[in-house]
Amino acid sequence: MQFDLVRDVIDRAGTRPMPDIVVVGTGVRVPGQFTREGLEALSRCHVVYCVLAPRRGTRFLRGLGLPIEDLSHLYQPGRFRSEIYQQIVAVVLDRAARDRPLGYVTEGNPILSDRTTHGIVEGGPARGLIVRVYPGVSSIDTILVDLRHEIGSTGLQIYEASWFVARGIEPRTDVPCLLMQPGVFGTAYTVVGHQLMPGALGGLQEYLGRFYPPEHELLLVRSPSWWYEDERVHRVLLNDLGGVGERETEGTSLFIPRLREPAVADQAFVTRMLDRAHFAELYRPPT
């Protein structure tokens, strides 16, 4: 793959100095959702670290001739996930101090629910390193597309499943809710090489039961990894959530439709939104 066209576009717009570290998101589907600006930034790096499924991202990046170093071996069974994240951050920052520019590639949107990225973003400047993050398509984007769900007027609550329970967050039942990473619910350990057992989501079921009735339907959603695949949506009643296993939860997020209609809108505010005189007071017409 050639980067000449992308470089030409960027050069015409005026390039900024290359940062010391570039963090790039792959999007959910690789390579289709890689951005051109992300790939261009990686093409200028001396080394590119990644923790990606070999069949997807790693093989693709190596096929482009990029200097890839795979860190997926750090995800060893029985280790705390936070410990692994800290180790990856240390590897990236230590290497960038002596060999830069350097790239780090992660799945989805790199700033969304990615503690490694946050560690690099916070730790880089502390060492005098310039860090730039290039966004990718997130699982939130693809899930909303998979469910054909529009949030403009209804809104959406988004939480990580374990911390949702740990912090005692009370959801608004008139607003849909999306819980990320139910497949690793209730544990701080990496689940690589382990199988989610039936009953593992019992604590999540019990907590949600405080706010939703047992017959409330939930959706376990997994977006496709390839353009020719279909999304996977597994419907389950809240009363049965605790019994789902690995097959239903692997790589999914849990979408909870609203239980009741949204709160009644402030009619005075809505009336002002429709009032032309009020519009003229707030927005100057084009000249």
Same domain, 155 and 49: no
Quote the number of domains for the chain. 2
Specify the pLDDT at position 287.
Answer: 83
Q: How many CB atoms lie within 10 A of CB 106?
A: 23
∠ CA 136-39-69 to the nearest 5 degrees? Answer: 95
Specify the pLDDT at position 274.
Answer: 95
Same domain, 165 and 223: yes
Indicate whether 42 belongs to any domain: yes
Core vs surface per residue 238-256: b (16+ CB within 10 A) or e: beebbebeeebbeebbbbb
Indicate whether 250 belongs to any domain: yes
Give 16's pLDDT tier (boundaries 50, 70, 90): low
User: How does pLDDT run across 56-93, given as a tens digit for each residue?
Assistant: 678 888 888 999 999 999 998 889 999 999 999 999 99
- CATH number, residue 52: 3.40.1010.10
Write down the pTM of the prediction: 0.87
- In percent, the amount of the chain with pLDDT more than 70 equals 93
CA atoms within 13 A on the CB side of 120: 32
**Boundary-marking domain end, from 137, 167, 194:** 137
Same domain, 128 and 146: no
DSSP string for 92-140: HHHHHTTS-SEEEEESB-TTSS-HHHHHHHHHHHHTT--EEEE----HH
Indicate whether 242 belongs to any domain: yes
Specify the pLDDT at position 55.
Answer: 65
Closest CA to 222 of 206, 235, 233: 233
Q: Distance (Å, rounded) from C-alpha 103 to C-alpha 77? A: 26
Where in the sequence is the domain holding 104, given as residue range(s)?
A: 4-137
User: How does pLDDT run across 158-201, given as a tens digit for each residue?
Assistant: 999 999 999 999 999 999 999 999 999 999 999 887 888 888 99
Indicate whether 82 belongs to any domain: yes
Same domain, 104 and 203: no
Same domain, 64 and 27: yes
Give 13's pLDDT tier (boundaries 50, 70, 90): very low
The answer to which of 47-61, 103-117, 250-264 has the lowest mean pLDDT is: 47-61
Closest CA to 247 of 220, 229, 207: 220
